[in-house]
Structures are given as C-alpha cells and as structure tokens.
C-alpha cells in the first residue's frame, strides 16, 4: 500500500477554524500491550488508536500466542488464560518496529528466555540496544547472537533483581526493565530513568493491577519483584491522550488557524511547547483537557524566532522538533535548533529547504533557521512518523500543491489524519496507491 497525500497550501489566504480531537497515545498503548504479557488473565483497553503501529503490536502478540479481540472501534481485549507463549519475536515485524523491543522484558521475565532480531523502526540515526543488553546481563541473563537474532536466557528461568544505572535516559529501556523487574527475584532499582508521562502511565497501570513500583516519573524507580503473574480482573485501561498529536495540532494551528480548539488532551504534558509558542507570540489558552488558539494574528503581528533544544521530558520533546522547526521558518529572525537526542532527526530539513526555507545545517545535531520565508508546495517523502506530520504542516502553510509520499509512516502514528484535518479546513486528500 503506497498511499500519498495531496495537500493544497493555504498560502496565507485562508485560516483553519474549529475543533479537533486528540486520540489515544501511541507511545502509551504500545507499552500497555507489551505489559499484558505479565498477566495471568489479560487486560482490557479502551481509547486505542487505530494506527499501523498498534496493528503491528497486535500481530506480534498474536504470533506469540496471545488471544486478541477487538470490541468496537477502539476497545481491545488481550487474553492470556490457557495460552502457551512462544519466546521468539516475529522477525519481519520486529524489524519494522523499534517498539517491539518492549516485549523482551516481560517475555524474559515470564518465560526465562527471549529471542529477537535487531529491532527496526524510524530512521532517526543509530538506535543502539546496548542498554538492553547490559541491563539484562546485570539481571543475570546470558546473551548470545546467532542466526541474526539475539538470545537472552535467565538462569533457572528467573531474572535477578539488581541496580541498573542507565548511561543515557531511554524511554523504552526504562519501561522494559520496569516490566522485567515485576517478575524478577528481589528488588530492581533503576537509576537515571526517563521521566516521560508514558513511563508514569505504564507504572500506574501496572501498580493498579498488583505490581509494586515506586518512583516512576522521577529519575529513580524501584520495583519489588514477585513470583506471581499480575491480574487485571474487570479493570479497563483507558489510553491516555497523545501529547505529540496534540502538540502537532497546536503548532499547525499556531501557523494557520485563527481559532482552534484541541480537545481530549492533557495540557500539562505540553507545558514547555506551550511556553515556547507563547513566547514567540502565539495566543495559546489552556483548559483542563483542551488547548486553544484564540484570535490568532489579530493585529497581524509577526511571530518571533527562538532558539530551542530537544531534551528528555520535561524538556522540549524530540518528537515535536520537526513541527517546531517548520514553525520557525515562519517566524522572524534567526533560530538555532539543537537536536540532542537523535543524530538523524534533522535530515528532513533538506526537503523543507527545497520548499524555500532558509535552513543551514551546522552539523547533524544543529540547524540555523532564518525566517520568515515563503514555502512552496512540492513532492515530499515522509522519512519518519513525526517528520511526516511536519511535512503536512509545511504543505498546509505553503503556496501551491504538495504531494506527500510514503504516507505509511504518518499512518503508523496518526489515525485517519486527513479526515480529521479536513474538518478544520485543511485541503488534504489521500490517493490510494
Ligand atoms: N539509546 C542508547 N542505547 C539504547 C537505547 C537508547 O544509547 O540501548 C539512546 C538513543 O540512541 C537515543 C536516546 O537513548 O539517543 C534516547 O532514545 P530512547 O531509547 O529514549 O528512544 P526510544 O525509547 O527508542 C521513544 C519513543 C520515540 C521517541 C523517543 C524519545 C516509543 C515507542 N518511542 O523511543 O518515539 O522519539 O522515545 O523520546 O516510546 C515516535 O513516536 O515517533 C518515536 C520515535
């Protein structure tokens, strides 16, 4: 399936208007799905986004032996009673999705062994797995690599609780070891943990169902291990709102909407993005579960450029770096963008330059943006989930028509994005390939 998006740019002539609803968070629900492997009975989920990455995770779980049942559009039942699980992750799917690595923690902790290929995913530069290899070794597992797959094995099928100090903060490593610790012997202490809201969300989900986890959302997490699988009973987990989707809509709105209300979100998770936009001159208001752009460009004032650098939460999210850089092409002055997390995550700027932006790459981690510049529509190929959406934003701001190829990347993270954007006035259409 090679769908494309055709976007007719607004070129300053029209303004988006209305209300757009945020879906469930990809980076939360994928972890909850992986966590289901720690349960004796299973888990029930609601507000599950209909996106490609969730489908891939469903396929991975089914291939392992788990039973899955869709209940309507957004509800999912994952059942494990009476099932025998495999310890080998499906090669082709794992190679397509980095998040497959999340399954290694629960599987190794439950079965005492796991094998998987080097995980693939978005091309954001080198995405090593050394933290996983080192951490599992510390928990007593032996590690080997043969036939293009890693094999981890725990002595007597049981991981040993230990202290792991992560060399660098990693979201999925923090989550993976938090889950592994639940079925390990004794206590696992994790230091220099990622503090992203999705980490805390996963800990809250597991704790509400019997896990003993302290400190999630801070740099140190303690997990008390147990012999017993978790139980969900009749509890239903509601997927938290996607802060990255909300942030992307906010940046799109900042550039092109007069009034826009983004609903079903948690503004507290986007504090730093809101702060940067307000400082640049965007009129942002927040409610309890909504963020609004109100009376934007009332007196035709220009937005101000600003330097920013990506940082682990609560810093500026790397996943919103591309949309924010597009914003800066429309702001006045020089802005330095410093991507500190992934060295390949500025490559998309080449395409924005071809649209007319004045962006100079200093090195793989830094670009200088001079604005404002007129962007012109052109053919673009989405390189990853978040840059893909940044292209949709750039194409909407631009003059003329853009064709965005490789829409699969956008579909990995955003549900029916074109339909939702059409409702607020974006001229976007999907052409089936
Ligand atoms: N790192 C290592 N060794 C490892 C693992 C990571 O050095 O073993 C480094 C990475 O190279 C990077 C840094 O640690 O420099 C942080 O990467 P992290 O491991 O936190 O990234 P991730 O867990 O693979 C998650 C999100 C990404 C998001 C990053 C950063 C999920 C499923 N993915 O990835 O989301 O960009 O955290 O916040 O939660 C996306 O949704 O499009 C996406 C790419």
Q: With helix as H, strand as E and coil as C, how does the chain read?
A: CCCEEEEECCCCCCCEEEEEECCECHHHHHHHHHHHHHECCEEEEECCCCCHHHHHHHHHHHHHCCEEEEECCCEEEEECCCCCCCCECCHHHHHHCHHHHHHHHHHHHHHCEEEECCCCCCCCCCCCCHHHHHHHHHCCCEEEEECCEEEEECHHHCCECCEEECCCCCHHHHHHHHHHHHCCECEEEEECCCCCHHHHHHHHHHHCCCCEEECECECCEEEECCCCCECCCCCEEECCECHHHHHHHHHHHHHHEEEEEEECCCHHHHHHHHHHHHHHCCCEEECCCCEEECCCCCCCCCCECCCEEECCCCCECHHHHHHHHHHHHCCEEEEEEECCCCCCCCCCHHHHHHCCCEEEEEECCEEEEEECCCCECCEEECCCHHHHHHHHHHHHHCECEEEEECCHHHHHHCCCHHHHHHCCCCEEEEECC
Determine whether the shortest distance from the Cβ of 57 to ligand 1 is under 6 A: no
Residue 142 phi, psi (nearest 5): -90, 145
Residue 173: CB within 6 Å of ligand 1?
yes
Q: What integer pLDDT is reported at residue 121 of this predicted model?
A: 58
pLDDT at 340 over 70: yes
C-alpha 69 to ligand 1 mean position (Å): 29
In which region does residue 149 sit, left (phi positive, over 0), alpha (psi from -120 to 50) or beta (all else)?
beta
Mean of all residue pLDDT scores within the chain:
95
| Per-residue pLDDT tens digits for 211-221 | 999 999 999 99
Percent of the chain past pLDDT 70, that is, above it, reads 98
The token pair that represents 431 in the structure block: 């052409």
Kindly state if the Cβ of 98 falls inside 6 Å of ligand 1.
Answer: yes
- pLDDT tens for 280-317 read 999 999 999 999 999 997 767 799 999 999 999 999 99
- What's the chain's Rg over C-alpha atoms? 22
Quick check: 232 pLDDT over 60? Answer: yes
Ligand 1 contacts CB of residue 56 (under 6 A): no
Q: Whose CA is nearest to atom 5 of ligand 1?
A: 129
Please return the burial class of 225, using the count of CB atoms within 10 Å of its CB with bins 0-12, 13-18 and 19+. buried
314 lines ligand 1 (CB under 6 A): no
Q: Cα(351)–Cα(244) distance, rounded to whole angstroms?
A: 22
Q: Are strands 4-8 and 427-431 parallel, antiparallel or unpaired?
A: antiparallel
Does residue 147 carry a pLDDT above 70?
Answer: yes
**Catalytic residue check, 265:** no
What pTM value is reported for the model? 0.96
The two tokens of residue 377 are 């529509």
Q: Is the predicted pLDDT of residue 14 greater than 90, yes or no?
A: no
Ligand 1 atom 43: residue of nearest CA: 319
The structure tokens 């893909």 sit at 388
Crossing angle for the helix pair 321-329 and 271-280, to the nearest 10 degrees: 0
Least reliable range by pLDDT among 7-21, 151-165, 260-274: 7-21
**Closest atom of ligand 1 to CA, residue 168:** 14
User: Rounded to 5 degrees, what angle do the CA atoms 117, 121, 123 make?
Assistant: 125
Residue 358 exposed, middle or buried by CB count within 10 Å (0-12, 13-18, 19+): middle
Rounded distance from Cα 45 to ligand 1 centre (Å)? 24
CA of 238 to the centre of ligand 1 (A): 24
167 lines ligand 1 (CB under 6 A): no
Q: Is the shortest distance between the CB of 132 and ligand 1 below 6 Å?
A: yes
Ligand 1 in reach of 23 Cβ (< 6 A): no
d(CA 346, CA 201): 29
Inform me whether the pLDDT recorded for 122 exceeds 60: no
Q: Of residues 122, 252, 322, 398, which has the active-site annotation?
A: 122
Q: How far is the CA of 75 from the centre of ligand 1 (A)?
A: 27
Instruction: Determine what percent of the chain is predicted with pLDDT higher than 90.
Output: 90
Looking at ligand 1, which atom is closest to the CA of residue 125? 11
The protein residue whose alpha carbon is closest to atom 9 in ligand 1 is: 170
pLDDT of residue 40: 97
Are 321 and 327 in contact by the 8 Å Cβ rule? The answer is no
A 10 A CB-CB count for 331 gives 23
């Amino acid at each position: 399936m090679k769908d494309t998006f055709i976007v007719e740019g607004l070129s300053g002539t029209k303004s988006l208007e209305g209300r757009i609803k945020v879906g469930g968070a990809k980076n939360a629900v994928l972890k909850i799905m992986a966590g289901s492997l720690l349960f004796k009975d299973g888990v029930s989920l609601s507000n599950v986004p209909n996106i490609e990455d969730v489908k891939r995770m469903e396929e991975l779980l089914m291939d392992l032996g788990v039973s899955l049942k869709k209940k309507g559009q957004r509800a999912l039942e994952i059942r494990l009673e009476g099932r025998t699980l495999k310890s080998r992750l499906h090669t082709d799917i794992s190679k397509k999705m980095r998040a497959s690595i999340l399954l290694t923690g629960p599987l190794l902790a439950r079965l005492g062994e796991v094998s998987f290929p080097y995980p693939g995913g978005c091309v954001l530069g080198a995405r090593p797995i050394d933290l996983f290899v080192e951490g599992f070794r510390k928990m007593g597992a032996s590690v080997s690599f043969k036939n293009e797959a890693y094999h981890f094995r725990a002595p007597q099928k049981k991981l040993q609780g230990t202290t792991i100090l992560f060399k660098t903060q990693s979201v999925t490593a923090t989550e993976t070891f938090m889950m592994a610790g639940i079925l390990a012997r004794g206590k696992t202490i994790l230091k220099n943990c990622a503090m992203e809201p999705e980490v805390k969300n996963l800990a809250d989900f597991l704790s509400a169902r019997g896990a003993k986890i302290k400190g999630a959302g801070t740099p140190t997490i303690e997990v008390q291990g147990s012999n017993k699988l978790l139980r969900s009973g009749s509890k239903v987990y509601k997927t938290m709102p996607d802060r990255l989707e909300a942030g992307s809509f906010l940046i799109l709105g900042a550039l092109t909407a007069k009034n826009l209300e983004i609903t079903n979100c948690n503004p507290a998770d986007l504090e730093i993005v809101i702060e940067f936009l307000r400082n640049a001159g965007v009129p942002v208001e927040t409610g309890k579960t909504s963020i609004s752009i109100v009376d934007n460009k009332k007196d035709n004032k220009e937005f101000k450029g600003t330097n920013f650098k990506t940082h682990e939460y609560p810093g500026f999210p790397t996943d919103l770096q591309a949309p924010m850089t597009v914003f800066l092409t429309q702001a006045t002055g020089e802005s330095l963008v410093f991507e500190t997390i992934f060295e390949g995550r500025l490559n998309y700027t080449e395409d924005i330059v071809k649209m007319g932006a004045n962006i100079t790459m200093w090195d793989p981690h830094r670009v200088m943006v001079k604005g404002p510049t007129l962007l012109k529509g052109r053919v673009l190929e989405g390189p990853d989930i978040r840059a893909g959406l940044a292209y949709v934003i750039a194409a909407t701001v631009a003059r003329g028509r853009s064709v965005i190829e490789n829409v699969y990347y956008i579909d990995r993270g955003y549900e029916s994005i074109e339909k939702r954007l059409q409702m607020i006035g974006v001229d976007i259409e999907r052409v089936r390939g």
